[in-house]
Amino acid sequence: MRSYKWLCMVLIAVVLFWGQTSLAAMTNAEMEQRLNQLISIIQSQQDEIQKLKQELEQQKTITIQEQKVNKEEVKEIVKTQMEKKEKEWKGLIPKWVKRVKVSGDLRLRYEGIYNRKERQSDGSTKDIDDRNRYRIRARLFFDAPITDEISTHFMICTNQDQHWEATTTNQTFTDDFSDKGIYLHRAYATYKPGWLKGLEVSAGKFKNTFLHTDIMWDPDVNPEGIYERYQYKGFRNFQPFIHLGHMVVNEVNKDEDAYLYINQVGFDWNIGPIKWTLAGSYYNWDNLEATKWLHKAEYKGGGGNTFIDKAGEFQYAYDYNLWEAISFVRFKLGVLPTKLIFDYIVNSADDVPSDQDTAYYLGFKLGKTKHKGDWSLAYKYARIEKDAVIGSMNDQDFYGANRKGHKIKLRYMLFDHLQFGAAYFNTEPVDDWDPTSPTFKNNKAREEEDRIQVDFIFKF
């Protein structure tokens, strides 16, 4: 604004100067003198304008620098205040809360069962309606270290409302919008001593850590009792282990309890790019007559095993003393993680018919599912004779014992925490169901069928 005023004054002076010269004649010398005066005035004004511009630029630079300094000062003040408040907030949170890790998942499933048949008392079969159901599974995990050597673990999740079945965590969309049950699925403590690396002792209702496939255990079964596991880490490529379990199946007030004892030995052997795991196991189901649901054939309809009627009450016809050989071979097929699976089981209990005492599993898995874009494909063929295993405890989507068939499972990670899955089962009985069996009505609908499952699993 100041430079603008000076310019106006110069222009007025020029006008007045020329105005005055038009009124009177001037000599050349006088005109030249006045022009020189005018040029001097204009030059002086230009110098003043340039000086003012420089002062303005300097002022702008100083202002910008001051703003930057003020902004950094404000940031530092805010950061200091936030750190102070964070310390105050952390001080209000109990220490045990800070140690607890919480995770979980939600699974939405569609399941369709097609081409179903039902065995009739005359030995024939008839078609029955397809089954369509929508199911939900919700799980929460809580893991907390107590010391460097001791940790605790809890899991709560959905389950069926009848018998609280150990082989499922699903709830079906049904029962007129009634609420779904939530149950304690795991609760155990683990001790891993620093003085003996490789030793692990857990007690409570714990995750099944024994090497197994689903012809022995359904993935949802969590045994109760205590287990000890020790793996020797002294060799670089060969690491033997022993795994012992003492499980309480049912406690009875005035009689002998039901137990399960598991003894497993094996090794992990790295042979170049191949990792070979081999284990042998012995399962002793002791005093099955004292079980709560199993011996009454009320748990999954008896699971396909052989039962007899004793004074109006069902009982297992045989004991279950199971020998198992299980093997996993892991390697890379190109860039794909690959696993080959073999499992073989024989029931060595007395009097079990030789055509009813054996089960085996052959399968593979390709790929992995950890991050967005990952996928895996798995296949199994299994044949489980009628009394090879406790049928109420193995894969109930496959239908327990007296079952053979195929399963294909695909998994794809849509996002890091969202998985899509699809599975197809084609199964049928090993032997036709006997119409004279006490459990015939529970198993007669378990004929040949096709089962499809489609899952969306949301993890957090």
Q: Which amino acid is at 94?
A: P
Ordered alpha helix ranges (H), 93-146: 95-99
Contact 427, 405 (CB under 8 A): yes
How many structural domains does the chain have?
A: 2
pLDDT tens string 334-386: 999 999 999 999 999 999 999 999 999 999 999 999 999 999 999 999 999 99
pLDDT at 160: 83
Helix 28-92, helix 2-23: angle, nearest 10: 170
Determine, yes or no, domain membership for 284: yes
Residue 340 lies in a domain: yes
Which pLDDT does position 34 carry in this prediction? 73
Same domain, yes or no: 373 and 257: yes
Residues 74 and 124 in one domain: no
Could you say which of 92, 107, 142 is where a domain stops? 92
Residue 305 lies in a domain: yes
User: Is 163 part of any domain?
Assistant: no
> Is there a single domain that holds both residue 58 and residue 127?
no
Statement to judge: residues 226 and 362 lie in one domain: yes
Ranked by mean pLDDT, the top range of 9-13, 34-38, 63-67, 418-422 is: 418-422
Q: Which residues pair with 285 in a beta bridge?
A: 260, 320
77 and 125, same structural domain?
Answer: no
Residues 12 and 125 in one domain: no
Same domain, 126 and 25: no
Q: Say if residue 81 is in the same domain as residue 24.
A: yes
* 144 occurs within a structural domain: no
CA distance 192 to 83: 36
Q: Clarify whether residues 27 and 126 are in a common domain.
A: no
Which domain range does residue 52 map to?
2-92
Co-location of 421 and 376 in the same domain: yes
Q: Rounded mean pLDDT of 85-92?
A: 72
Residue 137 in any domain: the answer is no
With respect to residue 337, please indicate whether it lies within any of the assigned structural domains: yes
Question: Does the residue 142 lie in any domain?
Answer: no
Burial of 290 (0-12, 13-18, 19+ CB in 10 A): middle
Per-residue pLDDT tens over the stretch 24-43: 456 777 777 777 777 777 77
What CATH number is given to the structural domain containing 283?
2.40.160
pLDDT attached to residue 23: 43
Predicted TM-score of the model (pTM): 0.81
Mark whether 124 and 13 lie in a shared domain.
no
- Per DSSP, the residues of 369-395 read -SSTT-EEEEEEEEEE-TTSS-TTTS-
Residues β-bridged to residue 433: none
Rg (CA), the chain: 41
What is the 3-state secondary structure of 246-298? EEEEECCCCCCCEEEEEEEEEEEEEECCEEEEEEEEEEEEECHHHCCCHHHCC
pLDDT surpassing 60 at residue 156: yes
Whether 392 shows a pLDDT value over 70: the answer reads yes
Percent of the chain predicted with pLDDT > 90: 73
Residues 249, 385 within the same domain: yes
Higher pLDDT, 325 or 79: 325
Distance of CA 107 to the CA centre of its chain: 10
